[in-house]
Amino acid sequence: MKKWWIPFLLLVFCACSESSHEEQPQPVFSKLPALEAPKTLAGTYVGRLPCGDCEGVQVKLILDSLGGAQVEETEMRDSTITQVSAASYKDSLEWIRLQFANSPRVLSFKSKKGFSMVLLDFTGQEYVDESGEPYQLIRILNKPVTVLK
């Protein structure tokens, strides 16, 4: 009676090992199309910019399609200070120049394929932090809203 168990166990083992070699399903992410950046600079950008006497400035920059901008800056100190300013911007190829409305303050950025903007210093070089990473603003891509009627 013990002799017929051995071939049965071998058969079960072989069937299990063959089924484990079947092709595994591909992850869903491999079927997603590549993400393309919008063709214009208009949109919302967020990130961190340098600050001379604080830990850093968190920035939310909203660029409209007519060259206007709204800049919301939050200084990170013992208590946070938020300031909202109006500005205008001009772009030429990959360069963006942001001019504040009520001050002589100007910020220059270089666009990185439409997904981010890197802060430039007065010489036109990327402005980097103490770890060597550039200060940049990342574009927030919003999902299109569908209006139901």
Each residue of 6-24: pLDDT tens digit? Answer: 555 555 555 555 544 555 6
Architecture of domain 43-140: Beta Barrel (2.40)
pLDDT value for 51: 84
Select from 120, 115, 111 the least CA-distant residue to 49.
Answer: 120
Whether the pLDDT of residue 32 is over 80: the answer is: no
Collect all residues with Cβ–Cβ distance below 8 Å to 95 and sequence separation of at least 6.
108, 109, 110, 111, 120
pLDDT value for 65: 86
Select from 141, 138, 140 the least CA-distant residue to 47.
Answer: 138
Whether the pLDDT of residue 70 is over 90: the answer is: yes
The share of the chain scoring above pLDDT 70, in percent, equals 68
Reported as half-sphere exposure (CB side, CA atoms, 13 A), residue 145 has a value of 2
Q: What is the mean pLDDT of residues 113-123?
A: 87
Question: Residue 28 corresponds to which tokens in the numbers above?
Answer: 């869903």
pLDDT value for 22: 53
The share of the chain scoring above pLDDT 90, in percent, equals 27
pLDDT value for 41: 82
Select from 81, 92, 96 the least CA-distant residue to 43.
Answer: 96
- Share the mean pLDDT of the chain: 79
CA 28, CA 67: separation in Å to the nearest integer? 39
Residues making up the chain, counted from first to last: 149
47 band by pLDDT with thresholds 50, 70 and 90: very high
Each residue of 78-100: pLDDT tens digit? Answer: 777 888 999 988 888 788 999 99
Question: Residue 106 corresponds to which tokens in the numbers above?
Answer: 């100007």
Beta strands per DSSP E along the chain: 43-49, 57-63, 68-75, 81-92, 95-100, 106-112, 116-120, 136-140
